[in-house]
Amino acid sequence: MNKIVFSIYRYNPDVDKAPRMQEYTLDNPEGRDMMVLDAMLKLKEQDPTLSFRRSCREGVCGSDGFNINGKNGLGCITPLSAAGLKGGKIVIRPLPGLPVIRDLVVDMSQFYTQYEKVKPYLINDGKLPPAGEFLQSPEERAKLDGLYECILCACCSSSCPSFWWNPDKFIGPAGLLHAYRFLADSRDTATEERLNDLDDAFSVFRCHGIMNCVAVCPKGLNPTKAIGKIKSMLLNRAL
Amino acid sequence: MVLNQASLKRDGVQDYVSLRTSAIVLSLYTLFILGFFLVTPVVTFEIWQALFANIFMKVFTLLALLSIAVHTRIGLWQVLTDYVKSASTRAVLQFFLYALAFGYVAVGLFVLWGA
């Protein structure tokens, strides 16, 4: 049996004056690797007051985004071995930059507000309605690869310093990935309207290419590349 | 471009282009000066003065100074809007930093064309 020490952020605004780190110890059978989420569920058996979100436990719902040893990721698809040990412990904190509701549960309102701004749905003026479904060529469909897979876990946006400093003005990597997903969609006819909404000094151009979003995305997506494409579209339109 | 850079409201595309073009000018100027020191075995006052007596060098230096002013104006605005959340404090800081950037250009002008 291996003993693994966890140091977990605890904060209940109704009771606590300040956040604190609480240590837990978990027995892990020799040679067995479990996911961080599985370990946390076992810790919750020890201490039912420990709060965190989780749902699908297979990297699809995006509920269990945590800061694990300083790097954002999904607990359910991060093995303890990959999380590594920081000072002999596994340190788990809430996603940075977002208000804490309780323990590891964060208020994602700002994140969703920015997501809503990009109108994350297909807009078609219906001037050339197809007889049946909207058809796309394989090439047109391929443009959406690497964009539509985003699960809105907020690991990227909450690791982005530009989003930390201006969460009310900068859309953030997740929102911009979705913005480009619809800008790149051959069936969408609101390209100009979408670009007009993004054409200011903050919404897109606050991205300085730090690329934390790329480093942490649990789905292996590249928001920086999508943001670069939006910048090119805005630039081409202006020149 | 000049009018836009002087305006209070920032324009994302304009700033993006201005930052990059000014960075290109500054890189070229830096490379030129480095190249000058590399190919000139001994840099005396006369050689240095002769370099800056050339009208091409004066214009290139003025362009570099203006690029510094544009680059710092946009860059500092971005840094200040990140870290200074009070609009009045930011306005005061911006005023002094922009005045300093302007001072560099003015001093450069006097150095280049004065005496």
Give the pLDDT confidence of B75-106 residue by residue, as tens digits: 999 999 999 999 999 999 999 999 999 999 99
Q: Do B16 and A231 touch (CB under 8 A)?
A: yes
Per-residue pLDDT band for A126 (boundaries 50, 70, 90) equals: confident
Per-residue pLDDT band for B1 (boundaries 50, 70, 90) equals: very low
Per the listing, tokens 């964009």 go with: A147
Q: What is the pLDDT of residues A187-210, one digit of tens each?
A: 999 999 999 999 999 999 999 999
Q: Do A235 and B15 touch (CB under 8 A)?
A: no
Contact list, B15 vs chain A (CB under 8 Å):
201, 205
CB-closest option in B12, B78, B83 to A199: B12
For helices A223-238 and B12-39, give the axis angle rounded to 10 degrees. 100
Chain A residues at the B interface, defined by Cβ less than 8 Å, are 161-162, 165-166, 199-206, 208, 231, 234-235, 238
Site from A162, A165, A232 to mutate, B interface, most B CB atoms within 10 angstroms: A165
Residue type, A123: I
Size of interface A-B (CB pairs under 8 A): 34
Q: B81 at the A interface (CB within 8 A)?
A: yes
Above pLDDT 70, what percent of chain A?
Answer: 99
Which residue from A62, A14, A35, A178 is spatially nearest to A4, judged by alpha carbons? A35
pLDDT at B6: 54
pLDDT at A31: 80
Task: Please tell me the pTM assigned to this model.
Answer: 0.90
pLDDT at A128: 72
Q: Do A166 and B82 touch (CB under 8 A)?
A: yes
Buried b (16+ CB within 10 A) or exposed e, B17-53: ebbeebeebbeebeeeeeeeeeeeeeeeeeeeeeeee
CB-closest option in B12, B82, B83 to A201: B12
> Span B12-41, mean pLDDT?
96
Across all residues in chain B, what is the average pLDDT? Answer: 91
Contact list, A200 vs chain B (CB under 8 Å):
10-12
pLDDT at B115: 55
pLDDT at A2: 81
Q: B58 at the A interface (CB within 8 A)?
A: no
**Does the structure show a pLDDT above 60 at A224?**
yes
Q: What is the pLDDT of residues A6-35, one digit of tens each?
A: 999 999 999 999 999 999 999 888 888 899
Q: Which residue of A has its CA nearest to B8?
A: A201
Which residue from A112, A195, A184 is spatially nearest to A152, judged by alpha carbons? A112
Strands A89-93 and A65-68, bridge-based pairing: antiparallel
Beta bridge partners of A9: A21
Q: B11 at the A interface (CB within 8 A)?
A: yes
Q: Do A235 and B82 touch (CB under 8 A)?
A: no
pLDDT at A83: 83
Which residue from A109, A98, A117 is spatially nearest to A155, judged by alpha carbons? A98
> Span A48-57, mean pLDDT?
96
CB-closest option in B12, B16, B82 to A165: B82
pLDDT at A19: 97
> Span A56-61, mean pLDDT?
95
Question: For the residues of chain B, what is the DSSP string, one character each?
Answer: -HHHHHSSS--HHHHHHHHHHHHHHHHHHHHHHHHHHHH-SS--HHHHHHHHHSHHHHHHHHHHHHHHHHHHHHHHHHHHHHH---HHHHHHHHHHHHHHHHHHHHHHHHHHH--
Q: Could you report the predicted ipTM of this complex, rounded to two decimals?
A: 0.83
pLDDT at A134: 84
| Region for A126 from its dihedrals, namely left if φ exceeds 0, alpha if ψ lies in -120 to 50, beta otherwise | left
Q: What is the pLDDT of residues A204-216, one digit of tens each?
A: 999 999 999 999 9
pLDDT at B82: 93
Q: Fill in the DSSP letter of residue A34.
A: -
Contact list, B13 vs chain A (CB under 8 Å):
199, 205, 234-235, 238
Neighbouring CB atoms inside 10 A of A112's CB total 14
CB-closest option in B15, B82, B83 to A205: B15
Q: Do B12 and A203 touch (CB under 8 A)?
A: yes
CB-closest option in A165, A166, A205 to B12: A205
